[in-house]
Amino acid sequence: MEKSLFEQMGGTYTQVGDYLLPNLILPEQQDQPLGVWGQRHARYLKQHHKIIYMNLLTSGKLNDYLVDIENQAENLFLQLVKQLAESENITEELKAKDQMEWVAQMNNVCNRAREIVNSKLIFI
């Protein structure tokens, strides 16, 4: 019997019942911890862009890609929160004067910044 292209390239098979399954091993990846942004983007890719997700996974580049997205998203989020808070005059003075109002306004700013990051980086 003629060898398959997979066998010619050094691949091997394992017989499971009546089937020959290729012995595939994913390349080693550096597992860096992912935050909420990276996990959210991974879930989005897995559900809506399966081919991109599988290509990144099988090439061993998924974790590095998600760590990069995590860093970009976190930096953008912090920058947006700072800019929005400054533009709306949410200061430490307001925090000292009326703490509940400061919390309400900061929550509003954080929610808007989160939506912007989601639309620009996470759900694309």
pLDDT at 28: 67
The conformation of residue 27, written as its DSSP 8-state character, comes to P
Token pair 């089937």 is found at 19
Name, in order, each residue with C-beta under 8 angstroms of 76's C-beta and a sequence gap of 6 or more: 116, 117, 120, 121
Q: How does pLDDT run across 61-84, given as a tens digit for each residue? A: 999 999 999 999 999 999 999 999
Cβ partners under 8 Å of residue 70, min gap 6 = 34, 35, 37, 38, 41
CA distance 8 to 77: 50
End-to-end CA distance of the chain: 48
pLDDT tens column, 80-98: 999 999 999 999 999 999 9
Using left for φ > 0, alpha for ψ between -120 and 50, and beta otherwise, residue 85 falls in alpha
pLDDT tens, position by position, 14-45: 889 999 888 877 666 667 889 999 999 999 99
Q: Are 56 and 65 in contact (CB under 8 A)?
A: yes
pTM over 0.85: no
The CA–CA distances, whole Å, from 72 to 1, 31, 45, 65, 121 equal 53, 18, 17, 11, 8
